[in-house]
Amino acid sequence: MVHAGIVGGTGYTGVELLRLLARHPQVSLKAITSRKEAGLPVAELFPSLRGHVDLAFSDPAQAGLESCDVVFFATPNGIAMEQARALVAAGVRVIDLAADFRIRDVPTWERWYRMPHACPELVAEAVYGLPEVNREAIRAARVVANPGCYPTAVQLGFLPLVEAGLVDPDQLIADAKSGVSGAGRKAEVGSLFSEAADNFKAYGVPGHRHLPEIAQGLARAAGRPVGLTFVPHLTPMIRGIHATLYGRVARRDVDLQALFETRYANEPFVDVLPAGSHPETRSVRASNLCRIAVHRPQDGDTVVVLSVIDNLVKGAAGQAVHNLNLMFGMPETLGLEGVPVLP
Amino acid sequence: MVHAGIVGGTGYTGVELLRLLARHPQVSLKAITSRKEAGLPVAELFPSLRGHVDLAFSDPAQAGLESCDVVFFATPNGIAMEQARALVAAGVRVIDLAADFRIRDVPTWERWYRMPHACPELVAEAVYGLPEVNREAIRAARVVANPGCYPTAVQLGFLPLVEAGLVDPDQLIADAKSGVSGAGRKAEVGSLFSEAADNFKAYGVPGHRHLPEIAQGLARAAGRPVGLTFVPHLTPMIRGIHATLYGRVARRDVDLQALFETRYANEPFVDVLPAGSHPETRSVRASNLCRIAVHRPQDGDTVVVLSVIDNLVKGAAGQAVHNLNLMFGMPETLGLEGVPVLP
Amino acid sequence: MVHAGIVGGTGYTGVELLRLLARHPQVSLKAITSRKEAGLPVAELFPSLRGHVDLAFSDPAQAGLESCDVVFFATPNGIAMEQARALVAAGVRVIDLAADFRIRDVPTWERWYRMPHACPELVAEAVYGLPEVNREAIRAARVVANPGCYPTAVQLGFLPLVEAGLVDPDQLIADAKSGVSGAGRKAEVGSLFSEAADNFKAYGVPGHRHLPEIAQGLARAAGRPVGLTFVPHLTPMIRGIHATLYGRVARRDVDLQALFETRYANEPFVDVLPAGSHPETRSVRASNLCRIAVHRPQDGDTVVVLSVIDNLVKGAAGQAVHNLNLMFGMPETLGLEGVPVLP
Amino acid sequence: MVHAGIVGGTGYTGVELLRLLARHPQVSLKAITSRKEAGLPVAELFPSLRGHVDLAFSDPAQAGLESCDVVFFATPNGIAMEQARALVAAGVRVIDLAADFRIRDVPTWERWYRMPHACPELVAEAVYGLPEVNREAIRAARVVANPGCYPTAVQLGFLPLVEAGLVDPDQLIADAKSGVSGAGRKAEVGSLFSEAADNFKAYGVPGHRHLPEIAQGLARAAGRPVGLTFVPHLTPMIRGIHATLYGRVARRDVDLQALFETRYANEPFVDVLPAGSHPETRSVRASNLCRIAVHRPQDGDTVVVLSVIDNLVKGAAGQAVHNLNLMFGMPETLGLEGVPVLP
């Protein structure tokens, strides 16, 4: 039995992590901390957890996190980097669902996240927690940087093409659409129902924080820097990301469908759909799956990849549990077998 | 291992039943029939089931349903009554998710459902599958009439009051709101996104088919006929029913909160919330729970009960699995332990 | 040409008022104030108004409101009562879209709104701006208390029955459902898309501020106090209120359809639908109409009235413009002729 | 006063056309035909029109369309081409909101629309009704082919760049997102609320009928064929199209913002937003506007244009009214001055 703690956990990533861990047969949740909500039973904040989670939020100072086997950070950016050093020193393994350890180049991180980094030495050590790329490194990691939601959907869609050198790495376009839960549970006007419902918009076109993270992952796969245009959009649904990816392919003699199927043949959480498919976000709702389809319209020079995930599961809490399973030598799918909820 | 078959199954009740049975540790799904979709892999119609359900729809004639232990009917009204007799004769137990066996008075059924009943003798034998009322009878039943969605939410909310004789049985009002999945997966203009989204309406005020079903259940609890006004509404969400119930209470010295808590103390799927609560439909999304709160506003003569369920789970497929668990002597919650999906 | 000013106006009531006034042929908008947004062009905050509203928000102190003919308060509760006295003294007529002047009994107001009233003498003078009840008084009013959204829908639905003495005034039930814009444009967790979408809940069952306002209006119509149970609900749509009203009728010989049609025969903004109808909120979207249907299910003792409005128009800004038209002797429908937007 | 008739009109394009024409000061609606709904008052089918449209649907044979000045076809594809010849011969001008006259190359049309064309000679004569391109020709046209919704949003976004030769015409990408009303008011499973809500998907990636229409328009602007990848998506909102457009720009010394502002300086229905903006679909809801923003992220080689319209207005009925205004020498904005409805 793995003893786990959660720092933060009053947001959507937190409640989703609790939903998954509550049914995980090999994880025992020891503590969940919130300075603001200390003392409040978790199930009062999230009535969906009544009968499943008996813990109350505890003050970070009294939570005893250092006696856990693993601690998840479901916090805003900038928290994990302050606390990870002490936990790691105490032998606790850390999975950060925020962005603190995702970017290997610290100055780049500091520029995009607009704060000095408090723990550069763990950045160097941290493993980027995309199991489809770093499975073995994750098993041994002391610190796992759980990927962002957009980066997960975009990288999984582009990787087979980039790894095989089949697309021009200077002309990658990722047009991504996210449900509103991606903005978190913060009280902000832009996330209000009456602002976001029956509406569609792009945002962050001049530059979004997930751009360097995606570019880093694709550059690693390409073995050289990439030129990426990334345009995120907000779509009026709760959960889900749909990435529509465009690349220029020079060769016409490659079976792209086979390429994708082969690349992900042994991946439990990546499902390459039959040729001609259009994956729907709801087909992965509440599950850890990424479903992908690849098209070459009118048999032309542009390849179009469609990649969908649930941003709170494969894009956050589910991938974190997958990483936990890897880190503690458990079957990869443990606690993640739930069937997508449709409709 | 219980061998189960499904007749129908191309609708929302069907896909939800498949979602639940796919993870049920003691049920093996043998066949799912659809005359129209025979030969089509289930996972092509419902991509959410890819990797979880390998069956294809089969023609009813070749499905071998008579060799199953139990057959679910997830069909339109009027199908189960045609086929149940032969199955029961073959020793197969039947759970009908449609309305064919819900109303004990056959002429009443025929008036509301506008067709002659094909199997009155099984109506007499069938057990109304509301476990909170008929648990023991369900265990032994050969035919279970799975309750309707509105009737489940409304009866569970009214039962403690009616059984205790605390409300005037002639003045019951049930104002109920349903998500659009309650209308099924039929192609009808009224259920289109552009008709139902950003809109709210009542329907069926002159008379809805669930009225006699609710009235029958409450009359049984009251020991006399009841006067019930039932107004269903369509609300722009996918899943969920919220029933707001009004009754006249004469006595002021009764602790209604305690009444409800006591009535449902041993029920695994009814959760009485703390006094002052307002249950949300999403707090039971994708789960088999009914959450209830009871109020007496301004300490007056009117009691207000708020009762929420997921119409596709506790209001259909989940309750059917609960009934199966009872019928085959398994733990009641088996396969129904999923945590509600929020947000 | 009527010179108008708006205090507040950064919320949904404000933007809707601007939408209507921008096309009103006899109103010239002179100033709109916001301490927080002073200097910001209105069309930057609300891009929908680009090309239609050229004003910038101005600081209240420099806005010159005292030279307007009329000033609208589209502010939180408690602001208008501070500023109305000086404006009225300056000869400016006031239309308050908040609650400050709605309740005639000041101690009742203070109890429900939890603050001392700053201007009781204008409460005594203010006219409750429901034109269907107070048309003549509104024409002459110096201060109009624009009704709340729920109170508008509920009163218009109950009035014909209560005025005619046809329902038991001690057993009135109003089950009302509101779109989320009714909660305003404040950044609050409960109004987030991911909280309110695909969800339905009641709130304020123990007591909502619109209860005394509705009760006051119905008592006035009944000539005696009434017993009212009022349960508001939040439904996942942007605009719209649907009130489902229940009353006990003793006499069966009354033509309720004719009663309603006669009562509202000359009302430009109340539309009594044909017998058997179920009004949809979208049928009044973006218009000042209230559509009503009356039912007596199963020919029983309970009358059911269905009443729908757009909460931002007939429930707020549109009714305010209607009141302005009355106060300044213009045709009642001026600037309010827009056709509802469907779908 | 222009006498107008409508053929079809039971769909969303029809009800929107009625909404606009009902308030148009210079149009008198003479007839609206529907074989299926003949005799039914329009306001019974669309209660939003009660009090605004008094007509009933009439049988096409008795409608007297040949005595109208103009006839709109709000019909499925393939109807207008059967009836236009006789109307034109009778001196009636025709505005087809369907696709029959949009593609100048008849074999191309026949291949994409899978039927023989019944009236090729009027295709040759018909004017493509995009006023921003064909204003003068529209004034004199006997037959106007009203553009498709996607083609309107995409062309208006690309035109300044393509006309100026600033983007590589072989590498154009249009990633477009549409509300569900774009699929019409047909009863189809894919358009059901429970299928389309809380979901996002691409469709038609191998080829969509609007592809040749867009390519034709852009080729005309470029003076040569173009290479276009067009990926439409379905997003869970009722109205609105958001097109995200990508092009390769060689020159860095061009002020793209000025280019767009100059191109559309005199266009009443195209609004170029300030640099750095992200237009929202709701900012044009229920209005005839197209709002556009242009970006060059990270000052790179890729230009990103964001273009939003209301698919039922600028993408259909509103553009048709704009065309009518041009054809009959009226002010272009007559009847189209409504302010967008937000929220």
In chain D, the residue whose alpha carbon lies closest to the alpha carbon of B11 is D189
Query: In a 3-state reduction of DSSP, which class is residue C182?
Result: helix
Pair of tokens at residue A208:
């979004």
In chain C, which residues have their Cβ closer than 8 Å to the Cβ of D197?
198
Helix (H, G, I), strand (E, B) or coil at A335: coil
Task: Tell me what the pLDDT averaged over chain D comes to.
Answer: 97
Q: How far apart are the C-alpha atoms of A87 and A66, rounded to whole Å?
A: 6
ipTM: 0.97
**One-letter identity of residue B338:** G
Q: Nearest CA to CA, how far is D46 from chain C (Å)?
A: 8
Average pLDDT, chain C: 97
What integer is the mean pLDDT of A265-292? 98
Mean pLDDT of D237-244: 98
**Cross-strand bridge partners of residue A102:** none
Residue A158 CB contacts under 8 Å (≥ 6 apart), including other chains: A167, A172, A174, A218, A221, A245, A247, A305
Residue to substitute from D16, D36, D194, interface B, most B β-carbons within 10 A: D194
In chain C, residues with a C-beta closer than 8 Å to the C-beta of A37 are none
Residue B182 has phi, psi (to 5 degrees) of: -60, -25
How far apart (Å, rounded) are the C-alpha atoms in residues D20 and D5?
A: 14
Residue A78: pLDDT over 90:
yes
Chains that touch C (3 or more CB pairs under 8 A): A, B, D
In order, the DSSP letters of C258-272 are: HHHHHHTTT-TTEEE
Beta pairing partners, D94:
D71, D143
- Residue of C16, C149, C193, C199 to mutate when probing chain A, most A C-beta within 10 A: C193
- Rounded CA-CA distance C217/C221 in Å is 6
Compare CB distances from A48 to B19, B50, B342 and report the shortest one's residue: B342
Of B270, B19, B225, B297, the C-alpha closest to B130 is: B270
Is C149 noted as a catalytic residue in this protein?
A: yes
How far apart are alpha carbons C52 and C66 in whole angstroms?
24
* D40 Cβ contact partners less than 8 Å away, ≥ 6 residues apart: D34, D56, D57
Each residue of A332-342: pLDDT tens digit? 999 999 999 99
* C256 contacts on B by Cβ (under 8 Å): none
For C343, name the nearest residue in chain B, comparing CA atoms only: B194
Question: pLDDT-based confidence at A96, cuts 50/70/90?
Answer: very high
Residue C127, SS3 per DSSP: strand
State the pLDDT at residue D234: 98
Q: In Å, what is the CA distance from D21 to each residue of A331, C284, D2, D326?
A: 64, 18, 11, 15
Contact, A87 vs A66, CB < 8 A? yes
pLDDT tens-place string over residues B221-245 = 999 999 999 999 999 999 999 999 9
| Chain A residues touching residue D233 (CB < 8 angstroms) | 177, 242, 244
Neighbour subunits, B (≥3 Cβ pairs < 8 A): A, C, D
Q: What is the pLDDT of residue C234?
A: 98
CB atoms within 10 A of CB A294: 25
| pLDDT for res D342 | 97
Q: What is the pLDDT of residue A252?
A: 81
Instruction: List, by residue number, the catalytic residues of A.
Output: 149
Nearest to D167 by CA among D242, D231, D232, D224: D224
- Contact indicator for B176, B235 with CB cutoff of 8 Å: no
Angstrom CA distances, D87 to B252, D64, D127, D175, stand at 76, 10, 16, 38
Facing B46 at nearest CB: one of A46, A273, A342? A342
pLDDT in tens, D44-60: 999 999 999 999 999 98
Chain D adjacent subunits, 3+ CB pairs under 8 A: A, B, C
Question: Strand ranges (DSSP E) for chain A?
Answer: 2-8, 27-33, 57-58, 70-74, 93-96, 127-128, 143-145, 172-178, 201-202, 228-234, 241-248, 270-272, 290-295, 302-309
CA separation for the pair C80, C98 (Å, rounded): 8
Which residues in chain C are closer than 8 Å to B245, comparing Cβ atoms?
A: none
Q: Which two tokens stand for residue C131?
A: 């034109």
Q: What is the mean pLDDT of residues C110-134?
A: 97
Q: How many interchain CB pairs under 8 A, A with B? A: 87
**Block residue for tokens 């696709």:** D99
**Does residue D251 register a pLDDT over 90?**
no
Q: Is the pLDDT of residue D258 over 90?
A: yes
**Alpha carbon distances (Å) from C90 to A279, C9, C66, C236:** 65, 22, 6, 43
Rounded Cα–Cα distance for residues C106 and B31 (Å): 70
Contacts of A57 (CB under 8 A, 6+ apart): A9, A10, A32, A33, A34, A37, A38, A39, A40, A41, A42, A45
Mean pLDDT of chain A: 97
pLDDT surpasses 90 at D250? no
Q: Do B248 and C173 touch (CB under 8 A)?
A: no
Query: Considering B68, B119, B149, B290, which one is annotated as catalytic?
Result: B149
Provide the residue type at B152 as one letter.
Answer: T
Token pair belonging to D116: 């023989």
Helix extents (H) in D29-148? 42-45, 80-89, 106-113, 120-125, 131-140
Q: Express each pLDDT in C100-109 by its tens digit.
A: 999 999 999 9
Question: What does the CA dihedral A46, A50, A52, A56 come to, rounded to 10 degrees?
Answer: 60
Among C68, C119, C149, C290, the active-site one is C149
Shortest CA gap B283–chain A (Å): 4
Residue with tokens 């090999």: A26
Q: Up-side HSE of residue A88: CA atoms within 13 Å toward CB?
A: 19
Question: What's residue C33's pLDDT?
Answer: 95
What is the spatial distance between Cα A312 and Cα C113, in angstroms, rounded to a whole number? 39
| Inter-chain touch C339–D47, beta carbons under 8 Å | no
What span, in angstroms and rounded, lies between the C-alpha atoms of B308 and B292? Answer: 7
Q: What is the DSSP string of A280-334?
A: BGGGGTTSS-EEEEEE-GGG-SEEEEEEEE-TTIIIIIHHHHHHHHHHTT--TTT
Question: What local confidence, expressed as pLDDT, does residue D252 receive?
Answer: 81
Q: Residue D246 to residues A85, B224, B251, C215, D223: CA-CA distances in angstroms?
A: 44, 71, 71, 59, 19
Chain B nearest-CA distance from D302, in A, is 35
d(CA C30, CA D196): 44
Q: What is the pLDDT of residue A280?
A: 98
Distance between CA atoms of residues D281 and D153, nearest Å: 11
**Chain segment A159-170, per-residue pLDDT in tens:** 999 999 999 999
Q: Which domains does chain D have, with CATH numbers?
A: 2-125 (3.40.50.720), 149-310 (3.30.360.10)
* Cis amide bond preceding C147, omega within 30: no
List residues bridging with C304 in a β-sheet. C246, C295
Question: What pLDDT band is residue C300 in, cutting at 50, 70 and 90?
Answer: very high
Reference C95, options C139, C134, C146; nearest CA is C146
Q: Return phi, psi of residue B295, to 5°.
A: -130, 150
pLDDT at D54: 95
Instruction: List per-residue pLDDT tens for chain B, 343 residues long.
Output: 999 999 998 999 999 999 999 999 999 999 999 999 999 999 999 999 999 999 999 998 899 999 999 999 999 999 999 999 999 999 999 999 999 999 999 999 999 999 999 999 999 999 999 999 999 999 999 999 999 999 999 999 999 999 999 999 999 999 999 999 999 999 999 999 999 999 999 999 999 999 999 999 999 999 999 999 999 999 999 999 999 999 999 888 899 999 999 999 999 999 999 999 999 999 999 999 999 999 999 999 999 999 999 999 999 999 999 999 999 999 999 999 999 999 9
Q: Is the dihedral of CA A38, A41, A42, A46 positive or negative?
A: negative
pLDDT of C251 strictly over 90: no
CA distance C2 to chain D (A): 20
Please tell me whether residue D196 adopts helix, strand or coil conformation: helix
Chain C interface, best mutation among B201, B226, B301, by max C CB count within 10 A? B201
Rounded to an integer, what is the distance from CA B247 to the centroid of its chain? Answer: 23
CA nearest D58: which of D28, D35, D91, D27? Answer: D35
**Which secondary-structure segment (H or E) carries B13?**
helix B12-22
Which of C200, C226, C231, C342 to mutate against chain B (most B CBs within 10 Å)? C200
Distance CA B144, CA B248 (A): 33
- Angstrom distances, CA of residue B205 to CA of B127, B199, C176, C236: 28, 17, 16, 22
